Chains A and B, each alone.
Chain A
Amino acid sequence: MKTILAILFFLVMVSLYIVLYLMNKRTPLPEGCENLKADCEGCHDYSCTNNPAHYRKKETDQ
């Protein structure tokens, strides 16, 4: 019973995150904030959306 409760709770939390993520994605950016960039050059976490490597990749693709 405890395991089922834990799994159910986990599923609720994950679905809450997915719903909020999608809602946030669909919320339009305020005017003037379309091309905001963080001034970050610190670490090598390439999964981070603020990593400058992403901007460099976009520039080279263009």
Chain B
Amino acid sequence: MIRELCTLLVTSVLINNAILNQFLGMCPFMGVSKKRNSALGMGVAVVFVIVVASIVTYALYYLVLVPLHIEYMKLITFILVIASLVQLCEMFIKKTSPSLYKSLGVYLPLITTNCVVLNCCLANISNGYGIAQMLVYSIGTPLGFALVLYIFSSIRERLETSEVPRSFLGNPIALIVAAIMAMAFSGLAGIV
């Protein structure tokens, strides 16, 4: 059981990475990766929201939607749950920790439209995960997202001071870097 969970964790972080393997969350990947601090803030906010959203949607699905036989409502329910959770998290952080709000606050509304969150909630259901697997997958997926975002932002910061051909400046060179990173991460597939 523990071995299975470890495999699931490694798979969700490195091999089935949300950004490089499933091409989800491309908007924050390109938009919030110019500075390492911003990438770290976004990464932490995504980890927090995905873990909470996964637990709530999982409970809601099995305790409300399944008993009422309205499973087909899961997509719209999950979207509303994620949007509500983001509002709740923002309000909670505003009231309890101004310093945390300073670093995460602006990224919280962005998470509502981050498809990694919705995908993680839906995958927990469609893959038929138990509670332990759901928790591991819901921690691994955002960790993989945050890891790739941080590495990518570090490379982009270095690119700012590198000599890049004029036609490749900005997003073109960033996309080439992303492609090379995707190839590098696909090489990790053999470890599991």
Contact = CB atoms under 8 A, between A and B. Distances in A.
Contacts of A31: 98
Contacts of A50: 106, 109-110
Contacts of A10: 73, 76-77
Interface string A23-48: 11001111111001111111101001
B184 interface: no
B73 A9 contact: yes
B113 interface: yes
Interface in A1-37: 2, 5-6, 9-10, 13-14, 16-17, 20-21, 23-24, 27-33, 36-37
Interface of A: 2, 5-6, 9-10, 13-14, 16-17, 20-21, 23-24, 27-33, 36-43, 45, 48-50
**9 interchain residue pairs of minimum CB distance:** A42-B31, A30-B98, A42-B30, A20-B87, A38-B106, A40-B31, A13-B80, A24-B91, A24-B87
10 contacts: A6-B70, A6-B73, A20-B84, A20-B88, A29-B101, A30-B94, A33-B98, A33-B101, A38-B107, A48-B113
Interface of B: 26-35, 38, 64, 68-70, 72-73, 76-77, 80-81, 83-84, 87-88, 90-91, 94-95, 98, 101-102, 105-107, 109-110, 113
Given A31-B98, A32-B98, 20 more contacts: A2-B68, A6-B68, A6-B73, A13-B80, A13-B81, A14-B80, A17-B83, A23-B87, A24-B88, A30-B94, A32-B102, A38-B106, A39-B35, A40-B32, A40-B110, A41-B31, A42-B30, A42-B32, A48-B110, A50-B109
